[in-house]
Amino acid sequence: MASPIDKILAGDAPLKLEIGGADWWTVHRGLSPILGTAIHNGHEIRGAVEALLAISDDDRLREEDPFTEFVIRDVPNRIVFHRSRFEVDLNRAREAAVYLSSEQAWGMDIWSEKPAPETVEDSLRVHDDYYSMLRQVLRGLEERHGRFVVLDIHSYNHRRGGPDAAPSDPETAPDINIGTFSMDRERWAHVVEPFIAALRMFEFRGRRMDVRENVAFEGRGEQTRFIHEAFPETGCAVAVELKKFFMDEWTGLPDQAALVAMRAMIRSTLPILEDRLQATR
């Protein structure tokens, strides 16, 4: 049976990255110190885990970050994770990367039968392998360019009350939330602040974007923490949370024009990021 994401994208092939059922992630390397990641983009789940799930495909999709891969396609270096965060969440520490309780998963009951320890460990090995790979990729960027920026792209729901409910208050839900919690903010201010300014100045379908720092989220995820700990002098990791104004979070249907505009917006920041990295002492 086709998954919700397959049905949604049946007429929008350019929005979908073709993958195999056994794929964990895709890495694309280019000549640039900028890396984009979409680690919650995936919807795939291996059979041993899927057989134990109580949560529906639709509910899973609502808490995943579909189309974040599309937004970073013009970033010369890209990493896209293809497995669902409900199998293993790369943006949580290893000990919390498999959701075993509803408290870890927005109050939802995920399991019809709790996974055995060996099933959990199999998922956690993917977490281990991902971070081993990420360290290697980042070391390569460091060796070639001296410094690098990681745009850690995510998305978030703003209609949690239901499909007909009012959206979240814009005061606490900006269009784009920039998270910098684990960053040496003073060291990287000359990179982060021009990046935020460029996002704010981009004309997004006739309007300017509401871009704020550490409002809806603070960037406390595992990936940015890992990067700043492993590469404290050379790595600037920015958590970018996009409010799901580019899709219907309840049906999963995308607004393709909005996604194309968002892709252009991210592309427009690349020369600025590269220029500001050159100024890093």
Q: Under the phi-then-psi rule, with left for phi > 0, alpha for psi from -120 to 50, and beta for the rest, what region is 92?
A: beta
Q: Which CATH architecture has domain 25-279?
A: 3-Layer(aba) Sandwich (3.40)
Domain boundaries, the chain: 25-279
- Which DSSP string do the residues of 45-58 spell out, in sequence order? --HHHHTTB-S-HH
Q: How confident is the model at residue 280 (pLDDT cuts 50, 70, 90)?
A: confident
Q: What's the mean pLDDT in 27-56?
A: 96
Q: Which residues pair with 80 in a beta bridge?
A: 26, 38
pTM for the full model?
0.93
Find residue 37's DSSP bridge partners. 79, 152
pLDDT higher than threshold 60 for residue 7: no
Would you say residue 12 has pLDDT above 60? no
**Lowest pLDDT segment from 53-57, 76-80, 137-141, 159-163:** 159-163
For residue 18, the model assigns a pLDDT of 82
Within a 10 A sphere around the Cβ of 254, how many other Cβ atoms? 19
Judged against a pLDDT cut of 50, whether residue 4 lies above it is answered with no
Inform me whether the pLDDT recorded for 61 exceeds 50. yes
Give me the mean pLDDT over the 111-128 stretch.
Answer: 97
pLDDT at 113: 95
pLDDT at 1 over 70: no
Mean pLDDT along residues 183-212: 96
Rounded to 5 degrees, φ, ψ at 111 are -110, 135
**Number of Cβ atoms within 10 Å of the Cβ of 26:** 16
What pLDDT digit, counting tens, does each position of 251-274 carry?
Answer: 999 999 999 999 999 999 999 999
Give the residue-averaged pLDDT of 199-224: 94
